[in-house]
A and B are shown apart, each in its own frame.
Chain A
Amino acid sequence: MDEQYKMTVDAERAPVIEPGYTFGTVTEKISAIVLTRPASNGWFVGFGIAFMLTMMMLYAIGYLFLKGIGIWGVTIPIGWGFAIVNFVWWIGIGHAGTLISAILLLLRQSWRNSINRFAEAMTLFAVACAGIFPAIHVGRPWLAYWLFPYPSTMGVWPQFRSPLMWDVFAVSTYATISALFWFMGLIPDFATLRDRSDKPALRMIYGMLSMGWRGSARHWHRYETAYLLLAGLATPLVLSVHTVVSFDFAVGIVPGWHTTIFPPYFVAGAIYSGFAMVLMLAIPIRKIYGLEDFITELHLQNAAKVMLATGLIVAYGYGIEAFMGWYSGDRYDAFTLWNRLHGPYAVLYGALLICNIFIPQVLWIRRLRTSPVALFFASGVILVGMWLERFIIVVVSLHRDFLTSSWGMYYPTRWDWMTYIGTIGMFLAAIFLFVRLLPMISIFEMRTLLPEAEVKAE
């Protein structure tokens, strides 16, 4: 047995994969979920609810197209409401997938192999949810394609100096690379499913998706190279996308937005919420599908540690914001700080501090860090906290304008809530389909974690 494997099954530390598995059993266990396991009643109920929420979202969006932005709570001075809050929230959640699949791959963190597949799927679905909001927020959504630079009959290009334009490029690049990366990773597993499936139709579909994969040495050689290259391409995106999203705010001169801490603190917040979402999905899924041997205590712990670290960066960001409110000597910055603590949204700011800073500190305790139930709830709290953070940044900064005559309040309408909750439904519906139709854990990457995969010296 190899040294490294011994290390990973070290009694002090939870193993990356429970002992006793072979190539065959790993493949069997993961592919059986897709190929042989019948869909349970629970799946149908869950998918049904998620699907109904998706329909509710489509209804809300359809009514929006009919009536216009007026059905939302946005007004002057709060021209950016739920749409931007939810956009930033979703796009942030997506970040964990890219971090896990690209950066941890380059850093040779082999524990990522158990969770990268569905973390990437989560990224894609989160980006899809995020993409809806700016598109329906532009007022005339049927002209949203004007955001893209194409040789139009108007003879003008989009405003390249606007951070909103940078957003278009950042997010569309991100979505493309994430989709490519996800598909690339699936190719050998598609081939496995093709070979193991006994239904001709499934063999055709998985056969087409696997693009003629035969698993020859040459295939693997090219595959590994391409996969590493894509990981290299995706790595800067982890940092760049949320940096650009933070520019939407930081480039403006609104107090509460105009600060240089935003890019790093947004990226940290994105990974924070992303790992929370990974855990919220992984914990029930491993339980329901009996995958505790593959997604072990080690994975839960590692994710908890990442959340702890990024959560502290986020806390530092809040601290610096508050400090600069005082230190800058700028009366508007100082007022923004005062307004967060004592203004009409002070309750939400308090809730934000509790959710994002205080409650997650329980993860220092090893017993809670390894308890799936505690982690599940901590992750939920963090997701709420990160949503509140974006709400505070967008709404609280805007609702007290420089001119007191234009002060106002933001009250989301039922259409705002229906759209937001609807995207959660769409996200979950996609996850439900994903776990039934595709191998949710990378089969071929799991096999490399086994002792059989170690090359022995002759």
Chain B
Amino acid sequence: MPQIFHRSTNTLSRATIFGAVFVIAALGWVAMEVQRSPYVTYAGVRKPQPVPFSHQHHVTGLGIDCRYCHTSVETSSFAGIPPTKTCMNCHSQIWTNAQLLEPVRASYRSGESLQWTRVNQLPDFVFFNHSIHINKGVGCNTCHGPVDQMPLMYQQQSLQMEWCLDCHRAPQKNLRPREQVFNMRYQQPTSASPVVVDGQAFSDQVELGSMLLRKYNVRGVKDITSCSTCHR
């Protein structure tokens, strides 16, 4: 009987069986990377807006506080999107003829809200509350990134659950004094530039964070990582 297969089949079959291990491992790795990439999470993606509002200009250039527009951030789950009237406080006086701002004026005239495109979007089954994070010392830019340097708004973090849990499992890594929450230039303490709280200087973030955990009565990790804390 003649040979069914060419003699190279031996090598080929060994290579494919051995190689399959690596191919499968590589596919798994690619799947993991894609799942965490901006392609899925939209982190860093600038979405089109009706007006190209620049946080960089308004925060860094003009020094406007976050709460001037996002008024309910300290007391409500929702930080609040400003009504057109908030824009018109200034823009009835300055840049009144700018073509760029025509949608704002049109909205003001007609009473129809501007339809902003939401950037930081959590799934509906997550109950996120801004006020508790603000009041326990989580800075705006800890989650939202350097908003004061964003000409166009984008989402800084993946907003995936592993990212939430990263902080909820060790909140001391990120807490800052309550009065520094809205400071976009706040730096975590180092020995060169310690952070002073109640007359006590901290040069280490974990020390500071652990003290703030007690000071602000933050619940234990077991409580804040419980399923029903966020999924009610």
The answer on a CB contact under 8 Å between B4 and A204 is yes
Cα-based distance from A195 to B10 in the complex (angstroms): 18
The answer on a CB contact under 8 Å between B161 and A207 is no
The answer on a CB contact under 8 Å between B13 and A203 is no
The answer on a CB contact under 8 Å between B4 and A194 is yes
Render A149-164 as a binary contact track against B, CB cut-off 8 A, 1 for contact: 0011111100000000
CB distance from B99 to the nearest CB of A (A): 42
A212 in the interface (beta carbon within 8 A): yes
Q: Beyond A211-B13, A212-B10, A212-B13, is A153–B162 a contact (Cβ under 8 Å)?
A: yes
Closest chain A residue to B41 by CB distance? A153
The answer on a CB contact under 8 Å between B158 and A153 is yes
The winner among A153, A156, A212 for most chain B CB atoms within 10 A is: A153
Render B111-129 as a binary contact track against A, CB cut-off 8 A, 1 for contact: 0000000000000000000
B1 in the interface (beta carbon within 8 A): yes
Contacts of B36 in A (CB 8 A): 153
The answer on a CB contact under 8 Å between A207 and B162 is no
Contacts of B35 in A (CB 8 A): 153
Cα-based distance from A155 to B159 in the complex (angstroms): 12
Would you call the interface of chain A mostly helix, strand, loop, or mixed?
A: loop
Cα-based distance from A204 to B35 in the complex (angstroms): 40
B160 in the interface (beta carbon within 8 A): yes
The answer on a CB contact under 8 Å between B32 and A154 is no
The answer on a CB contact under 8 Å between A207 and B4 is yes
The answer on a CB contact under 8 Å between A152 and B162 is yes
B87 in the interface (beta carbon within 8 A): no
Contacts of B160 in A (CB 8 A): 153-155
Residue B161 contacts which of A153, A204, A211 (CB distance < 8 angstroms)?
A153
CB distance from A208 to the nearest CB of B (A): 8
Number of interface residues of B (CB under 8 A): 17
Q: Beyond A195-B1, A203-B4, A212-B10, is A155–B166 a contact (Cβ under 8 Å)?
A: yes
B197 in the interface (beta carbon within 8 A): no
Contacts of B32 in A (CB 8 A): 151
Contacts of A154 in B (CB 8 A): 160-162
Residue B5 contacts which of A153, A155, A207 (CB distance < 8 angstroms)?
A207
Contacts of B165 in A (CB 8 A): 155-156
Cα-based distance from A172 to B41 in the complex (angstroms): 32
Cα-based distance from A425 to B10 in the complex (angstroms): 40
Cα-based distance from A155 to B166 in the complex (angstroms): 8
Contacts of A203 in B (CB 8 A): 4
Contacts of B163 in A (CB 8 A): 155
The winner among B4, B10, B160 for most chain A CB atoms within 10 A is: B4
1-18 of chain B: CB within 8 A of chain A: 1, 4-5, 9-10, 13
Cα-based distance from A151 to B36 in the complex (angstroms): 11
CB distance from A179 to the nearest CB of B (A): 16
Contacts of A151 in B (CB 8 A): 32
CB distance from A142 to the nearest CB of B (A): 15
Closest chain A residue to B164 by CB distance? A155
Cα-based distance from A212 to B8 in the complex (angstroms): 12
The answer on a CB contact under 8 Å between B161 and A155 is yes
Contacts of A194 in B (CB 8 A): 4
CB distance from A352 to the nearest CB of B (A): 39
Cα-based distance from A151 to B161 in the complex (angstroms): 12
Contacts of B4 in A (CB 8 A): 194, 200, 203-204, 207
Render B11-46 as a binary contact track against A, CB cut-off 8 A, 1 for contact: 001000000000000000000100110000000000
Contacts of A204 in B (CB 8 A): 4-5
CB distance from A197 to the nearest CB of B (A): 10
Closest chain A residue to B159 by CB distance? A153
Cα-based distance from A134 to B95 in the complex (angstroms): 64
Render A181-221 as a binary contact track against B, CB cut-off 8 A, 1 for contact: 00000000000001100001001100100011000000000
**Between-chain CB contacts (< 8 Å), 9 pairs:** A153-B36, A153-B161, A200-B4, A203-B4, A204-B4, A204-B5, A207-B5, A211-B13, A212-B13
Beyond A155-B163, A211-B13, 5 additional pairs, beta carbon < 8 A: A155-B164, A156-B165, A194-B4, A203-B4, A207-B4
| A-B interface, 3 closest residue pairs, ranked by CB to CB distance from nearest | A155-B162, A155-B165, A153-B160
